[in-house]
A and B are shown apart, each in its own frame.
Chain A
């Protein structure tokens, strides 16, 4: 005999309307907070709760647009994380997916659900969406992933996408999807795609499809053995592999051989480390080492900042010279797995369907494990899907030392071991601007003349944030301009930097040299004097400085800016991130 309270709690768990759905139906939760209820349903709701969400999503008079998107995400999360699906007929999502009147983000989500739920009769509609050049790209890639969810009988439509008629991004997505059920066939197609890669193309999703799968690296490696890449495509692939934080022996061997690199030398002995340490101290050049650190193929800045300038996936290295002697730094480069700071410990997770994920543990509970991988992507893996997990090594790839000469390695370690110590590599003052952003593909009108305020406002200040690429100054604060002209597509660069004031007042921006520069505070032009100084009043809050740099008419190859309250100014800067 159950007592009444216990009976009530069981009733609540099994009743048709859970407390959450009752809340939504009750009308006491305004639209702006319905999203929170929807999120709770995503995490904990029953199949009946999910059916209510689907019903609302399918109904044009149902949820408001933002709640509708969140409900679609909730349905996807429940399917992925908990294998929980709405009760009843779910085919409404196919109708939403194909409706050209609807917004692409809504259609893409609906498309994806058709795959996650393995809807019967979804194959043909999904194949049409994937192949249709008129569909938005996001809908097409969602359709490709959904096709792969349907399993081997989606092989035909996926293979049909890997033709010259399709853009490379669609072809790579289709091949990556194919890898989910036919590694060998996909590997041969991937090898062909990799052989035609071009600079600046993102190959990581294609490689991830193999390295994040059991036996994937070996299978791709043998396809590459059958069809060796030329040196440049091999290097591009190797770089993408390292960017994924992976150094699978078979793939590294195949790609290194093709790129003309030594694949896997043995780790150095203690005596070799000692000899390197001696060389670091006698002949290491920190300035040369800094240039090694910034090299694109090593991608150090992709994970590590130096006193705030760089990315934050790995530890900031600003004061590392004060804590870490050269032998420790060398060992960390050769053996990244040996010593890992607390918050950078990783997990390798193998899922029941043969996927392998490696990343820093962000979060875990009874339902899922959340990992952040070497590309900074966060992935949530349902506990129910985890076949096996074990502690992983560092996300820093082994083999980086292969990309350096002995002299470069010695210089790099000398640079690192000087960081934070008294001298030229002591922690830089906060007034020195070292975090910049550069505007990609400067349009011709902005290249040619001095833009008007309205142009600055429309084309730069209100641009898609994706158009701004990060750019980091050297430790000294010097920003090497030539490194950026490729991104800008010409000799004229547009740079921006942000700052925040806690108290308003007059600010002083001091450039090393005013030649070739024009400065805007927001959309307002600020004049530079002959010494390169500019003064302007700024209110409290977050602000942007925009800078036009004509590298052709500049008298030096770098640029340096210090930004601080002018003498006697009441302005107070909010200190930005340090380490």
Chain B
């Protein structure tokens, strides 16, 4: 094929682009001309980003051009838009700018996130896109020639027929508009355009199995289908045969993509290229990344060999990748590592309490660096381990695991350890859901499922993308459901996170707490607050939140700062609910166990990992709209400097379980990330009980019927109800809702727990995304103020699905109880557009009642948010 200039190619294609609109159209001749040695870079949103995890497009591409030695780099990034691509500090120094990748071909996947601005945003999109095309096609990134640019439209939104997901009609109207605009700009500017919107719409209609996981993000089959669409749109019909073994080729592509992922999305960017690279990172990381980049180049070679039809050795030879730099430890006197039985002697507890070893690396060598735990319906302890911490070392595949520890004979020690999943990298959090397990896999949220019941994860799906990882221990952690089915997880400062959802992109910078509804895919920034790194979240039996910020040791009453703010705004500083004693901390839990002394019930427990090294305890009392804590005698203290309690949770037996990260070194900043004194081999889990209080007979959750589960919502222990709710959410919706109605009707009006039980019913409706106005209205005005407060939060969540939400909130804001008023003023922060003015008027009615610190704080926050929205509205109207 003669080499023609890009413009010539493009303009000769103009007619084709315009005329070839129908879905099935395939150009008769190649539309994108490739040349030997081309460097092809994909940029844009998660449509591009997810392609690196499936590899189909590059497999088709490399097989079609076996002699071209094409280098393909996927720079897709969740929720990237034309003019908004936030990155953590220093990322531009990491070697992944276009000037460093030197593309000769750029494939830009745009328009999905932008489309949520609707028809009002179209004009701006058009001019931004035109500017982008001009800039991209006039910059010689390799210093010699300008790249050939391809604009790729969004895919259509697939209607999955799930009543809890958008059917896509609203999004598709917008996506069609934005696709049209992209086509228009491409035509005007003479660049190649691939319309995926039109053909995917037809594909969805023709295919019987889903092609997306949530309507907007492709699953593996969808990726394969769309890869083929792009391939044929760019290069015409597939050749009759190719030299490559396509399976082998795809495996090689995925291996290259994985190593490139470790480079491009390297965790701990702060210490590699960011503000904390001095003095340690500059010693080891340059050699590590030089090695990794050579490994990636080796994998390109392997791809090309397979594409040519050659056989390659099973092992990749990376002997040419150079040495690591020598890292000299700056730890002269590391604390000794104690054996578990010695470590047990290091603890002091108040009279009557007993600490016992539940599991250790001595018995289960896989129990290395445990970090977070959860208990399943059978009472088994699931724990995430991170021996690869602080991060992947090039050439050593990370093998972090999720383990299941089971005490089958009830003697308080684990008897077996099963590996549910391995090969993970830094699983910072875990919780069950949707019949599987959600796991933090920065920068993604992963969902694992055991399909055949052998306690091994068979399915792995990345479900959310875009969580920053600039500091690996700041990345999504502390997984906790609220009673209405929202899964919370949290992240720390330095991070710029942006997540694509079927409802539009969500963003936060410099710390926040997320809330994700697996059933509806609704994902929100639950609070955008300038935390350092909030490892700790506890929710009381009435749904009130308590947040622990690890680094500074701060503790907050969470309800007050969980109203909505609009990105990039953050909530103002809020006072702590008790004076900080010791920093830093990791994990908090409220005492709710009949196996603990009566006078400790409701106490707030807080792990401390440096200095005090134990479990602090605070008495929590109601104080007006909020709570106050008061320090009381700590529950546990260790004299072993390696004891690092990082998670704590009451188990099914009513004992308190504590995860010990067990490490002589913890600081990221004080030692090299590669300091040889960082331990990777130890880890313990302890159990604390009281000798005068018998342990509980665990509730029978696994295998219980729906009515039995509903009855278990009467349980005293918060953690039992927590696990019962998770079990109920897994049951068929119609069965649960039917049984629930019967159960609520059967409640004895004289039952002292009546309102709490009805509230559990309301929460269950909310978790099933089922609006139940009559139960809501009853609870909003019931005699129990704590139930009225909790119902007010549900009302806020259903704000767009009730006809009179604001009228109901006006009643709540004039409630006699301050916490109900607090929930109401919080809920009013969620109103946008025309309703913001009315919400503001209602919020100010709060001033007719006594104020306290939190009411005043939340009123200011809500008023600020509404005021800004009204000002914007005013500006638009003018």
Contacts and interface: CB of A to CB of B under 8 A. Distances in A.
Interface of A: 2-3, 5-6, 8-10, 12-13, 19-20, 23, 28-29, 33, 36-37, 39-40, 43-44, 277, 281, 307, 316, 318-319, 322-328, 331, 338-339, 341-343, 361-366, 391, 420-422, 427, 502, 572, 574-579
Contacts of B850: 33
B844 interface: yes
Contact of B632 (A322, A502, A578): A502
B169 interface: no
Contacts of B279: 331, 338
Given A9-B834, A9-B870, A324-B670, A20 B572 contact: no
A479 B158 CA distance: 73
B532 interface: yes
A343 B530 CA distance: 9
Nearest to A307: B611
B552 to A, nearest CB: 5
Nearest to B844: A19
Interface of B: 275-276, 278-279, 330-333, 335, 492-494, 530, 532-533, 551-553, 569-570, 572-573, 579-583, 610-612, 619, 630-634, 639, 641, 666-667, 669-671, 834-838, 840-841, 844, 847-848, 850-851, 856, 859-860, 863-864, 867-868, 870-871, 873-874, 877
Rank and list the top 7 A-B pairs by shortest CB-CB distance, nearest first: A9-B837, A319-B611, A342-B532, A5-B834, A578-B582, A575-B631, A578-B581
Contacts of A363: 530, 572-573
B276 A323 contact: no
B278 A338 contact: yes
A12 B669 contact: no
A5 B835 contact: yes
A40 B670 contact: no
B611 A6 contact: no
B851 A19 contact: no
A2 B552 CA distance: 49
B836 A9 contact: yes
Q: Which of A37, A324, A339 has the most CB of B within 10 A?
A: A339
Contacts of A9: 834, 836-838, 870, 873-874
Contact of B851 (A36, A325, A331, A391): A36
A328 B670 contact: yes
Contacts of B860: 39-40, 43
A577 B278 CA distance: 33
B834 A342 contact: no
A255 B330 CA distance: 36
B834 A19 contact: no
A96 to B, nearest CB: 27
Q: Which of A281, A325, A420 has the most CB of B within 10 A?
A: A325
Nearest to B846: A36
Nearest to A427: B611
Contact of B493 (A44, A319, A342): A342
Given A5-B835, A33-B850, 17 more contacts: A6-B873, A9-B837, A10-B873, A13-B874, A29-B847, A318-B611, A322-B335, A323-B670, A326-B332, A338-B279, A341-B551, A342-B492, A343-B551, A365-B569, A427-B612, A572-B632, A575-B633
B860 to A, nearest CB: 7
A342 B877 contact: no
Contact of A343 (B552, B581, B666, B870): B552
B551 A28 contact: no
A327 B333 CA distance: 13
9 contacts: A6-B877, A9-B834, A29-B848, A319-B610, A421-B641, A502-B630, A575-B634, A579-B583, A579-B612
A13 B871 CA distance: 8
Contacts of A574: 630-632
Nearest to B867: A44
B293 to A, nearest CB: 27
A362 B670 contact: no
Nearest to B869: A9
Contacts of B870: 9, 12-13
A10 B874 contact: yes
Contacts, number: 156
A33 to B, nearest CB: 6
B868 A20 contact: no
Nearest to B619: A502
B579 to A, nearest CB: 6
Contact of B863 (A40, A502, A576): A40
B632 to A, nearest CB: 6
Contacts of A43: 860, 864
Contact of A422 (B275, B639, B847): B639
B837 A8 contact: yes
Nearest to A426: B639
Contacts of B666: 323
B551 A572 contact: no
A20 B860 CA distance: 13
A8 B839 CA distance: 12
A325 B332 contact: yes
Contacts of B611: 307, 318-319, 322, 420, 427, 578-579
A130 to B, nearest CB: 36
Given A20-B844, A339-B669, A577 B864 contact: no
Given A29-B848, A420-B611, A578-B582, A12 B837 contact: yes
Contacts of B631: 574-576
Contact of B670 (A3, A23, A36, A325): A325
Contact of B610 (A6, A44, A277, A323): A323
Nearest to A342: B532
A121 to B, nearest CB: 35
A322 B610 contact: yes
Contacts of B335: 322
Given A325-B670, A365-B572, A23 B633 contact: no
A284 to B, nearest CB: 12
Nearest to A362: B573
A33 B847 contact: yes
A322 B641 contact: yes
B330 A325 contact: yes
A44 B580 CA distance: 32
A332 B766 CA distance: 52
Contacts of B569: 365-366
Contacts of A23: 844, 847-848
Nearest to B836: A9
B610 A575 contact: no
Contacts of B333: 421
Q: Which of B275, B330, B570 has the most CB of A within 10 A?
A: B330
Contact of A342 (B552, B582, B619, B851): B552
Q: Which of A9, A10, A342 has the most CB of B within 10 A?
A: A342
A252 B520 CA distance: 61
A523 B573 CA distance: 39
A33 B580 CA distance: 30
Q: Which of B492, B569, B611, B871 has the most CB of A within 10 A?
A: B611
Q: Which of B533, B666, B848 has the most CB of A within 10 A?
A: B848
Nearest to A6: B834
Contacts of A502: 619, 630, 632
Given A281-B332, A427-B611, A579-B581, A44 B573 contact: no
A87 B742 CA distance: 63
A325 B279 CA distance: 13
B847 A37 contact: yes
Nearest to B580: A577
A417 to B, nearest CB: 9
Contacts of B836: 9
A202 B601 CA distance: 51
Contacts of B331: 325
A499 to B, nearest CB: 12
Contacts of A391: 275
A352 B532 CA distance: 31
A502 B621 CA distance: 13
Contacts of B868: 366
A327 B848 contact: no
